[in-house]
A = this chain, B = another copy of it.
Amino acid sequence: MIPMVKRVSTGIAGLDEMLGGGLIAGRAYLVEGPPGAGKTILATHFAMAGVDRGENALYVTLEEPADQLKEDMARLGFNVGSGNFKIVDATPVNPERSVVFSESPDIEFGESFERLLNSLSAELRKRDYQRVVIDPITMVKLTVPNELEYRKIFLAFLKTLRRYNVTVLMTAEVEKSDVEKYLVSGVIRLLRVESGDKIVRAIQITKFRGSAFDEVMRPYKITNQGIQVFPEETVFI
């Protein structure tokens, strides 16, 4: 008997359409793009789409301070004050000690992943979350410079998250993500294509296990209401 796929909205209608209805529940996805591409905005859409449906969403911020992040989210009209929405400030400069990064560079190896996982597990056990954002995975990755070990740790990380049945969206700097693309269930790529004197923003799904999807590169815009994807239009490069 073939199980039906439960779809999870990304909060961006055009992107859901490209995904054939949304992400597959209970799996982990990667959003990669250059600085200024809107990775954080996309991740916020995803989290808030859950909050708007009465789900609980956990947002782990690893580089931008939580207060500055909230400010930017609020300005885009997201309901950051909702009780269903929780931000964990895991930046290394969090005044109440970072939950992820060690003070000492010597004991960093791999441990940050374990700390992140512990902190996530603790939170996931407290409440019934449906969505988790990790924004970005980059710095945690840098604590495991050996590729083989990173793969092992990352797979273990995904495995543990699977146990809680949450849908996970991770962001990644475009130069720093490669291995992960093979290991997650799907990859959404944000691009900037210069054509003449214009920067055209484009979004593309390059991998989506377990589902058909729109493989075409589509334009998107960052507006005062966040990201808008145009799934009927094409990008000329």
| Residues of A in contact with B (beta carbons under 8 Å apart) | 1-3, 5, 27, 34-36, 40, 63-65, 68, 71-72, 74-75, 77, 91-93, 101, 105, 108, 136, 138-139, 142-143, 146-149, 151-152, 155-156, 159, 162, 173, 175, 178, 181-183, 185-187, 192, 194, 196-199, 201, 204, 206-210, 212, 215-218, 222-224, 234-237
Q: Assuming A182-B173, A197-B236, is B2 touching A210 (CB within 8 A)?
A: no
Integer count of this chain's copies in the complex: 6
- Let me know if A36 and B148 touch, CB within 8 A: no
Q: Which of A65, A209, A217 has the most CB of B within 10 A?
A: A209
- Let me know if B196 and A74 touch, CB within 8 A: no
Q: For the complex, what is the distance from the CA of A139 to the CA of B222, rounded to whole Å?
A: 35
Q: Assuming A198-B216, A224-B212, is B138 touching A142 (CB within 8 A)?
A: no
